Structure 1
Amino acid sequence: MSLDFLEHAARAFEPKTDPFPTPGALAQAITPGTIQTPALDVIDQALVDVEAGKIDRLIISMPPQEGKSTRVTKTGPLWFLLRNPDRRIVVASYAESLAQEFGRDIRRFITENNGADGSLDLGLRIAPDNGAVTAWQLAGRRGGVRSVGIAGGLTGRPADVLFIDDPISNMEQAESETYRERAWSFWTSVGRTRLAPGAPVILILTRWHHDDLAGRLIASEEGHRWHVINIPAQADYDPDAGETDPLGRQPGEWMQSARRDEKTGRQRSAEDWERTRREVGPRVWNALYQGRPTADKGNLFPKDWARYDQPLWIDRADGSRWLPGEGHEMAISADLTFKDKPTSDYVVLQVWARIGVDVYLLDQVRRRMNFNDTVTALKALAARWPQAVAKFVEDKANGPAVINALQSTMPGLIPVEPQGSKYARASAVSPLAHAGNVVLPDATLAPWVEDFVEEAKAFPSGAHDDQVDAMSQAVNQLLLYPLLEEETVTAEDLIDDDPHAYLGGY
């Protein structure tokens, strides 16, 4: 018996090498030059786990234009069919035309990769009598792809795998309860009812609204079944609370983008991400790019805050700012939740002025800072607003350390012992905010104020509360406590409602 015969016999029992172990490997094969990013690596692994039966309900959210639909809804169904050509796959989207585009592209991948002229042969063929755009089947197999819009029905064959890609198309639809109900109705009365036993469901979307399909599924009684992967543009989590980032990034680190400049081939840079954040505004940014749409419940704080649109201050030649007139009181409020390490949380320093029975937010610094950076920032803010002699610093956590470091060189440092929970302190000033006594700058004066508004809207369930904490501390100290103690704020304070007139006509 020859050695060659034994070698061939042994090789016959060796496991075959999988040419496409992940959807990403398949994407590289059918579209050479496909960009692979850490985010797409995470998506690939999730799809592998779905196909292996480890996950049966999957939600993936990530920023727009980062390759999620191409990988999940175009390459994903093809990869599932390669592993089991008998799978009956349904692809759904907000519009039937988009769902059909997905189905058409999957079909094209098969017809273009049939081994002709030495091309890649996937080993799949479309049945000649069953190849319509809306529904096609593989030749000699039970599997295929059916494309539907969420406004349509899904009769006939059951679904062995259901892909739902962006059930809502834009902010206008997201704000419409009718469109949100339409997406929910598709799931409850159409999609869910057509699932074959054990069929997995994959929902891929950009988040638009807290009550979108993903939000409702997560909040439902079966919310625990859903494996949720949210990949924000910028890592934003608290390691000390046990939170993690799906890409293993440090807080503040940007995602590697799949987008490339067609001319230069350059990826999105940190500057590009920052520019996008400024241009779209905090509400859209938090929803679409961070995957954290704000729940606009209108409970604790007003939706529309009182605003001022002209500077209340005079800019001096030395770089400082000065409030003219008499009778006002100014203070700096500091929320110092820093940690002396690269993963430090946000530090917030705010400048407030009480004018009559109203308090005005004049300035704010909000950054991730360590101890030294915080001390430097507080010194700089105090120099910019020399009339803000009082500096309210919470007398817990990191506050005492800052007070000890500055008390010999900076006057007016006042330790504040917090009374009650954060929610209780915010609730105490809530009526003043709704009454218009807490006045914010217009975004034309202070672009950062929209982040403040979004945080207040989401409080107390939002990702951050540092700006609200600093605000409630300032309003409590400057306005609420004097009112309750019948000090400082008197009837004479109500003479003029115009802050510019009150400050001497400036």
Structure 2
Amino acid sequence: MIQMIAADLAPELRERPWNTPGEMAQALDRGTIQTPALDVIDEHLAKVATGEIERFMCSMPPQEGKSLRISVWFVVWLLHRNPNLRVAIVCNGFELAQTFGEQIRDILRDHPELGLTLSKSTAKKHEFKLLGYKGGVVCVGIEGSLTGKPVDVLIIDDPYKDEKQADSKAWRQTVQRFWQSVALTRLAPGAPVVIVQTRWRKDDLSGWLRAEYPEEWTALNIAAQAIDSTKLPEDDPDYGKPDPLGREPGEFMESARRRTLRDWAKKMREVGSRVWIALYQGRPSPVEGGILKRDWWQRYDQPLWFEREDGARLVTGFDEVLMSWDMAFKDTEDSDYVVGQVWGRRGVDAYLLEQVRGRWDFVETCNQFEQLAARWPQALLKLVEDKANGTAVIASLRKRIAGIVPEEPHGSKEARASAVSPLVEAGNVYLPAPAIAPWVGGLIEECAGFPTATNDDQVDALSQGLNRLVLQPFLAGEIVDEDDLDDDLADFQISAY
């Protein structure tokens, strides 16, 4: 809890301290625009100040006032309530952090009626103390240092500069290390933490902390356009929750920049689906999914195979059966997953018959390959992506197992998935029901989150298998005439990337 103490305030201000940072901002800055979204943020910040919320994360579309409210006015408001607070502001880089420090310093200088004077000995843009009190502000970048600086309130604002930085595994690890080895070591007992950011990925700082420590964090996501939370997966922490602004699904937020409905629609077209879904909706994985949407998949409820006494599985009525493998890049416990899939085709319809997946070293990968091949003797063609450990697996097994074919991927992962997505959308791809394949839910969620999900190994194996099994033969006219294909599929321009 952040105690409020009486500073050397003008009598009239001492009598009526502002209840929220927004009230202070509107009183001291006539240019302040207050929106329903900022009202909700203010409510949460007030609870942070009283100790009702200890760790708070907030996401909202860019340029809607969240950083100014949290990283500037919230800090001034806190210092006005308790000038002994030591506040740290951390950003992706020092320059941005210093900007917030400069804005806070200017407000204190421009409003002497607050009774807060900067100490001349520490009046830098990025670090200053309050004269006569222990409190002050220090601003650093993620890679900066807080050594020797106790922190009573920590604000982390935009730990990722842009899409490139957010997609960098090395930078994401840097941000996580900062939290674990710097932030947590400087925090005083019970010190509140506020994270404010636009979202990029499911495993960015907010996503990672919420997944790892769900009970510790209060999360507020204000989407540009309200979603129907009942369409989220049932294990999503926001499933079934009302919109924080009380909006109906599809309703846009009131904008601090005076954006109209036309403006929002234009912005949606301009930035593209990934940026809109992540930055503006605050959900790096879209509600319905991205390239491969959740509700596109068809299901089958009973096994399509029969099993012989020796454990081999056989199917009837299928035109072709093949295996598709995506290999890992290294033989360690924290390496990427290895995935093997068995696909069958009837006409233009593809059926996923089995999948194996694990973090296996080279020896275990070869064992799993041999076992899956023995279990599905009809899968003569065995596609192995000729990258990572795949090259070594091919060399090791091709003299013992027939039909192993190196597959050289062409184009980006996104392009390969996009090429087969019309097949999925048209209802030509069938997955087993969870009752016979408990792993299928994870596959669907990885596909829905692609390309921003943490893992993409199942997607890679899937797109490789569907490309060889259905897409290439269809484009070559070897399966069916286009007129025989599902009407939905005929509307698409299909490319073999």
TM range (shorter): 0.5 to 0.7
* Number of matched pairs: 313
Please say if residues 292 and 448 of structure 2, whose CA atoms lie closer than 8 Å, have aligned partners that are also in contact: no
Residues 359, 438 of structure 1: 8 Å contact kept = no
CA RMSD in angstroms, aligned pairs only: 3.9
Q: Helix, strand or coil for the counterpart of 2:106?
A: helix
SS at the partner of 1:105? helix
Q: Is the 8 A contact 1:37 1:257 kept in 2?
A: yes
Secondary structure class of the residue paired with 2:30:
coil
Match of 1:237 in 2: 228
* Cross-structure match for 1:32: 30
Partner residue of 2:43 out of 42, 45, 48: 45
Contact 2:13 2:114 in 1 (8 A): no
| Counterpart AA for 1:234 | Q
Match for residue 20 of structure 1? 18
In 2, are the aligned partners of 1:301 and 1:457 still within 8 Å (CA)? no
Aligned-partner Cα distance in 2 for 1:173–1:80: 31
| Aligned ranges 1:229-308 → 2 under 5 Å | 229-238=220-229, 242-259=240-257, 267-294=258-285
SS in 2 for 1:234: coil
Q: Does 1:152 align with 2:133?
A: no
SS of match in other structure, 1:136: strand
| Higher-Rg member (1/2) | 1
Matched, 1:169 2:161: yes
Distance 2:163 2:421 in 1: 32
In the alignment, residue 228 of structure 1 is paired with which amino acid? A
State the AA in 1 paired with 2:89.
Answer: V
Q: Say yes or no: does 1:206 pair with 2:198.
A: yes
Alignment match of 2:102 (pick from 97, 101, 104): 104
For 1:492 and 1:59, how far apart are their aligned partners in 2? Answer: 48
3-state SS, counterpart of residue 57 of structure 2: strand
Q: What does 1:73-472 correspond to in 2, within 5 Å?
A: 73-114=71-112, 121-220=113-212, 222-238=213-229, 242-259=240-257, 267-294=258-285, 357-358=347-348, 436=420, 439=423
Q: Does the residue aligned with 1:224 lie in a helix, a strand or coil?
A: coil
Q: 1:313 is matched with which residue? A: none
Query: 1:357–1:437: 8 Å Cα contact kept in structure 2?
Result: no
CA distance in structure 1 between the aligned counterparts of 2:169 and 2:475, rounded to whole angstroms: 45
Equivalent residue letter for 2:260: S
Q: Show CA shifts across 1:143-183 (max 9, x none).
A: 00000000112111210000000000111111110111111
How many angstroms apart in 2 are the aligned matches of 1:153 and 1:254? 40
Counterpart-to-counterpart distance in 2, 1:274 and 1:459: 26
The residue that corresponds to 2:342 in the other structure is none
8 Å contact 1:162–1:201 — kept in the other structure?
yes
CA contact (8 A) 1:496 1:502 kept: no
Q: Name the CA distance, whole Å, in 1 between partners of 2:228 and 2:181.
A: 36
Q: How far 1:436 sits from its partner (Å)?
A: 4.8
CA gap of 1:27–1:438, structure 2 versus 1, over 3 A, is: closer
**AA paired with 1:257?**
S
Does the CA-based 8 Å contact 1:209-1:293 persist in structure 2?
yes
2:106 and 2:181 map into 1 onto residues whose CA distance is 31
**2:62 alignment counterpart:** 64
Name the CA distance, whole Å, in 2 between partners of 1:104 and 1:299: 40
**Distance in structure 1 (CA, Å) of the matches to 2:60 and 2:127:** 28
Q: Please report how far the alpha carbon of residue 249 of structure 1 lies from its aligned counterpart in structure 2 after TM superposition.
A: 0.8
CA distance in 1, matches of 2:477, 2:194: 62
Q: Give the TM-score, by structure 2 length.
A: 0.57
Structure 2: 5+ residue runs without aligned partners? 1-11, 232-238, 297-345, 351-416, 426-442, 451-465, 486-497
Deviation at 1:104, TM superposition (A): 1.0
Conservation of the 8 A alpha-carbon contact between 1:233 and 1:289: yes
Deviation at 1:357, TM superposition (A): 3.8
* Match of residue 406 from structure 1: none
Moved >6 Å (runs of 4+): 491-494, 497-503
- 1:150 partner letter: I
Amino acid at match of 1:73: S
Amino acid at match of 2:210: I
Identity %: 45
1:495–1:168 CA distance, 2 compared to 1 (3 A): closer
Structure 2 CA distance for partners of 1:123 and 1:247, relative to 1, 3 Å: same
Q: Residue 17 of structure 1: CA displacement?
A: 3.7
SS of residue in 1 equivalent to 2:114: coil
Displacement of 1:276 in angstroms is 1.1
**Cα deviation, residue 31, structure 1:** 1.1
Structure 2 residue matching 1:64: 3-state secondary structure: coil
Equivalent residue number for residue 324 of structure 2 = none
Q: Tell me the amino acid that sits aligned with residue 203 of structure 1.
A: I
Q: 1:270: how far off?
A: 1.0
In structure 2, the residue corresponding to 1:145 is in which secondary structure?
strand
Report if the CA contact (8 A) 2:285-2:449 is conserved. Answer: no
- Report the CA distance shift for 1:435/1:171 in structure 2 as closer, same or farther (over 3 A): closer
Length-normalised TM-score, structure 1? 0.56
